[in-house]
Amino acid sequence: MAKFKGAVVVDTERCKGCGLCVAACPSKVLGLASQVNAKGYNYAEMVNEDACIGCASCGYVCPDACLSVYKVTL
């Protein structure tokens, strides 16, 4: 049982779907959406919400600063 629980909010219009956050996530929380944003990119989204531990690895590697990470201690 994880002691931390996190959540990621993606600024979908800023996201360019590079996939670096998907590769950086240690808990395999993120994935690329099947929908596209106004610029035609498959933006990142949480596909496995329960596994997020709020480590913010995705936020650090994001080149477009489109991820906000929230974390609570259980």
Partner 1 sequence: MTTKDIIKPENLVYGKTKLLTDNVMHYCPGCSHGVIHKLIAEVIEEMGIQDRTVGVAPVGCAVFAYNYIDVDWQEAAHGRAPALATALKRLNPENVVFTYQGDGDLAAIGTAETIHACNRGENIVIFFVNNAIYGMTGGQMAPTTLEGMKTATCPYGRNTDIYGFPLKISELLAKLDGTCYVTRQSTHKTANIVRAKKAIRKAFENSMAGKGTSVVEFVSHCNTGWKMSPVQANAWMEEHMFAKYPLGDLKDTEKKHYEEPAK
Binding site for partner 1 (CB under 8 A): 5-7, 9, 11, 13-14, 16-20, 23-24, 41, 46, 49, 54, 56-57, 59-72, 74
Amino acid type, 16: K
Pick the closer one to partner 1 by CB: 34 or 58: 58
Pick the closer one to partner 1 by CB: 19 or 28: 19
Look at the block and give the residue holding tokens 């596994």: 51
Q: How far apart are CA 36 and CA 42, in angstroms?
A: 4
CB of 60 to partner 1, least distance (A): 5
Q: What's phi and psi for 6, nearest 5 deg? A: -130, 175
